[in-house]
Amino acid sequence: MYEQEVADRFRRINGDHPMTPADDAYVTAQFAVLDELCATEGRDLGAVSLTMLAGLLPLPGYLRSDGAQMVPRDLFALTERAGGPERLEAWFTAHWTDRATGRREWEAYLSGQYVCLHEVSPATIRRKERLTAAITAAPSAPDAGSAGWTARLHALIDELDALEPAFTGYDRLRFGGPTSRDVCIDAMRARYPRPGSAIATGA
C-alpha cells in the first residue's frame, strides 16, 4: 500500500513521463531497486516507504517502466551518519549557515531529484553549486581566453564531471530542459576546447 503512495507522490513531483529502454538501462546500471536494497540490508519495505512519505527519507530517483522504484545504492548512508531518520533533517540542514537555503536543499533532497550526483550529501551538493556557479561565470572573467584561464576552467569542469553521472533522456523531460552536465560540462568543453584536444586542433 505505502509503495503505491510513494509512486503516486513521485509522479506528482516529476510528472508522468515515459521511460524508454535506454532510460531503463541507465537507471538499472546506476541505481538499486528499492525492495531489493531493503532485502539486502534487512529492512522492511513498507516501513521504508512510510519513512519516505513522512518526509524523513528521499523519494526514489526514478520509476523504471516496469514500476520498480530506483534509489541510490547508499540510500541509507546519510540516515546512519545522522543517527537515525528523525535526526536527519537537523543534521542535513546544519551544513548551511543560511537556514532558508538549508531548508530548500532539504526539500530538494527529499524530492528524490538529486540524481545529478554520484554521491548525494551536503558536501557534494554544496561543491556542485560552487562549481556550476564558477563555470557559468568564467566567460565574464577579465582574462577569459588566456592559457591560465583555460586551465582553470577545465579544472573546474573536470571536477564537476567527476561528481556528476551521465543523466538520461528522462531527466531532460522532468527537468524541462538541459541538465547541468549539458550546460556546464559538455557545452563548455565544446565552446572552450582544451588546448591540444581534437576539437581545438580541428582534427
pLDDT at 200 over 70: no
E strand spans, 15-174 = 32-33, 62-63, 69-71
Confidence of residue 61 (pLDDT cuts 50, 70, 90): very high
Mean pLDDT of 78-91: 95
Mean pLDDT of 38-59: 96
Mean pLDDT of 139-167: 96
- What is the spatial order of strands in the sheet that 62-63 belongs to? 32-33, 69-71, 62-63
Confidence of residue 82 (pLDDT cuts 50, 70, 90): very high
Which strand (E) or helix (H) includes residue 193? none
Q: What global pTM score does this model have?
A: 0.89
pLDDT at 203: 46
Mean pLDDT of 94-102: 95
pLDDT at 71 over 50: yes
Residue 102 and residue 95 in contact, taking contact as beta carbons nearer than 8 Å? yes
pLDDT at 42 over 60: yes
pLDDT at 2: 87
The overall average pLDDT reported for the chain is: 94
Helices (H), 68-201: 77-82, 85-93, 99-110, 122-137, 147-163, 169-174, 180, 187-191, 198-201
